[in-house]
Amino acid sequence: MFYAQLVVNGLLQGLIVGLAALAITLVFGIGRFANAATGDAMTFGAYAALLGHGLTGSLAAAGLAAMAATAALSLGSYALVFRRLAGRSAVALLVASIGVGFAIRAGLGLGFGHGQQLFSVPLVRPIRLGEVIVNPFDLQLAAVAAVMLAAVFGLLHLTPIGRRMRAVADNRDLALVSGIRPERVMVALWLLVGAVTGIAGMMLGMKTVVSPDLGWEMLLPAFAATILGGIGSPLGALLAGLLLGVAQELSTPFVGFTYKLAISFVVLLAVLLVRPRGLFGRIEGVR
Amino acid sequence: MDAYLAAIAIVALIYILLALGLTLQYGLTGLINFGHVGFFAIGAYAAAILATHGAPLVLGFVAAAFFAGLAAWPIGLVSLRLRDDYFAIVTLGFSETVRLVITSEKWLTNGVQGIPAIPRLFSGLTVGIGAQLAVLAVLLAVTGAAVLAMRRIVRSPFGRIIEAIRDNEDGLRALGKEPARFKVQVLILGAGLAGLAGAFYAHYITYIVPDQFIPLVTFYVWMAIIIGGVGRISGAVVGTALLMILLEGSRFIRDVVPGISEVEMASIRLGVIGILLVLFTIYRPQGLMGDFSRK
């Protein structure tokens, strides 16, 4: 039963990793680079949610604040930095995204200080399902994540702009000659990525404590989930995130609390060496 | 004041050693090593552990370079199979894992408490700043030797091959050269330099903890070579000098502008590094010492 509890805990952790990986994989698939600023953008979302939650006390307001603020940040980083690097090597974009991440973290450190801040979440009696204990607040967070995911997949698969985004991801040149305007696709992409990142950051902040280093620590698990899921595959990113979250929790009794973070690195290496296209990815591109 | 300048010069030379290693790996060969600090940490801990257990100091330096190089070997084998940006993520993960290991394995590294009382070099010279100057002289000699060796490498057939790996790997393969072996060698050499830098660092600072080996250090070095000019030995030196001015200069800003706390200064430094990385990648990717005609 102990392990069932760990699986339940891991699922929520996995949703957070999965959302972060979703943001990374969308940029990887459409913008063609590994966005290392994702972690720090998550931190930004957590602080925005902290402000929204502090003012109203409602989870919905916190989520909206995180989404709106991080989407604006994300679009800003595209307009100011990544758009100017279009056509340059993936390395240039990667280095620039590290710089963007540092700048965001520095701004948060200056604006909010380096102390740890907590969401004032009401204490609720946990629900017992047999031997497994579930916190109702975790269920609310999972519901928020589910709504976000439904919105993302709905947008990608049911709307014209989503179809265009998938077309650019699939074959950029073909999409361009078919008359798709790349600029609009990119704006939509960065807004969407920002909203996803913001929600991931809020969830992470609510499950732990908010400090300027919050999101950076998530970057490695998120990259690992992106690659495990197959680059550019949103569904893969989500499933891989869940898998990784559960694996991390399940490994804790065996390897200890510190080493559970190293699980991501081991998974990352194993996937790259054994099955570089990940669970759902295409074969091209990794080697 | 003399002691202060000597201290800055020592730290600068340690960073130059790191930058030379990265120049070899990224600048010349095109391997995106985002985990440089991991090799630096292995070198520092190898030297510190040996020295605090009474081993001769020279052995510590040899071991630092050896173990850092040894750690690079499997990373090198992985790199052969991966595209550039994936390799960057793997090396970043490597350095974070190294930090996890040195935090967790208390029996070896004393965990978060770190290793105190690492012997200084030349501690027998107690007159004035004699010991510091002696350290400086040794570091200058080692760095000078590294620069000369790098210049030899660039002009050697080996240098031409690794630059060809950076510029056109498929073309090189078509000429019948196998890039794999050279990539591994370059990684081990660069990591060995970083390990050596780590040993000097441990003996100079005399107290090391895992928190000194965060990825920010890697990106300090990246910033130095990007500002200086990627692939230029002079770029590594000039870029590191500018980095030191930036890092040390920020201390004086606090004297001039009162009311800035130490953590705020750390944030400002982080922000400046971040913004410079962005600005240089956008506007001057060839760096200050790079080829002005190319972009």
Where along chain B do its domains lie?
2-214
Q: Cα distance from B283 to chain A (closest Cα, Å)?
A: 9
Assign domain A2-113+135-274 to a CATH class. mainly alpha
Quickly state the pLDDT bin for A284 (edges 50, 70, 90): very low
The mean pLDDT of B113-137, rounded to a whole number, is: 79
Asked if A34 lies within 8 A of B82 by C-beta distance, the reply is no
Summary mean pLDDT of chain A: 88
Q: Which of B90, B219, B264 sits opposite A110 (nearest CB)?
A: B264
Question: Angle at the Cα of A104 (from A100 to A109), degrees rounded to 5?
Answer: 145
Q: What is the pLDDT of residue B290?
A: 65
Nearest chain A residue to B97 by CA: give it: A262
Q: What is the pLDDT of residue A96?
A: 93
HSE value, Cβ hemisphere, 13 Å, CA-based, for A216: 19
Using the predicted structure, report yes or no on whether residue B149 has a pLDDT greater than 80.
yes
HSE value, Cβ hemisphere, 13 Å, CA-based, for B63: 15
Which percentage of chain B shows pLDDT scores above 90? 35
Interface predicted TM-score (ipTM) over 0.95: no
Summary mean pLDDT of chain B: 86
The mean pLDDT of B118-142, rounded to a whole number, is: 80
Quote the CA–CA distance of A60 and A76 in Å, as a whole number: 24
Quote the CA–CA distance of B64 and B70 in Å, as a whole number: 10
When mean pLDDT is compared across A33-37, A46-50, B49-53, B261-265, the lowest value belongs to B261-265
**Chain A, chain B: beta-carbon pairs less than 8 Å apart:** 127
Q: What is the pLDDT of residue B213?
A: 92
- The answer to whether A85 and A35 are in contact (CB under 8 A) is no
Quote the CA–CA distance of B186 and B166 in Å, as a whole number: 12
Q: What is the pLDDT of residue B125?
A: 66
| A285 inside 8 A of chain B by CB | yes
Q: Which residues of A touch B94 (CB under 8 A)?
A: 265
- The answer to whether B146 and B193 are in contact (CB under 8 A) is yes
When mean pLDDT is compared across A17-26, A112-121, B6-15, B233-242, the lowest value belongs to A112-121
User: B48-85 in b/e burial notation, b at 16+ Cβ within 10 A?
Assistant: bbbbbeeeebeebbbbbbbbbbbbbeebbebbeebeeb
Highest mean pLDDT among A262-266, B154-158, B192-196 belongs to B192-196
Q: Encoding tokens for residue A118?
A: 């907590």
pLDDT digit string, tens, across residues A194-222: 999 999 999 999 988 999 989 988 888 99
Phi-psi domain of B287 (left: phi exceeds 0; alpha: psi -120 through 50; beta: other) = left
Where along chain A do its domains lie?
2-113+135-274
Report in angstroms the alpha-carbon separations of B98 from A267, B40, B217. 16, 10, 14
Using the predicted structure, report yes or no on whether residue A266 has a pLDDT greater than 50.
yes
Quote the CA–CA distance of B118 and B205 in Å, as a whole number: 8
Q: Which residues of A touch B32 (CB under 8 A)?
A: 91, 94
Asked if B86 lies within 8 A of A286 by C-beta distance, the reply is yes
Using the predicted structure, report yes or no on whether residue A109 has a pLDDT greater than 80.
yes
- In sequence order, which ranges of B35-178 are alpha helices (DSSP H)? 36-52, 57-79, 84-104, 106-109, 130-155, 157-167, 169-174
Q: Cα distance from A92 to chain B (closest Cα, Å)?
A: 6
The mean pLDDT of B81-94, rounded to a whole number, is: 83
Q: What is the pLDDT of residue B124?
A: 67
Quickly state the pLDDT bin for A286 (edges 50, 70, 90): very low
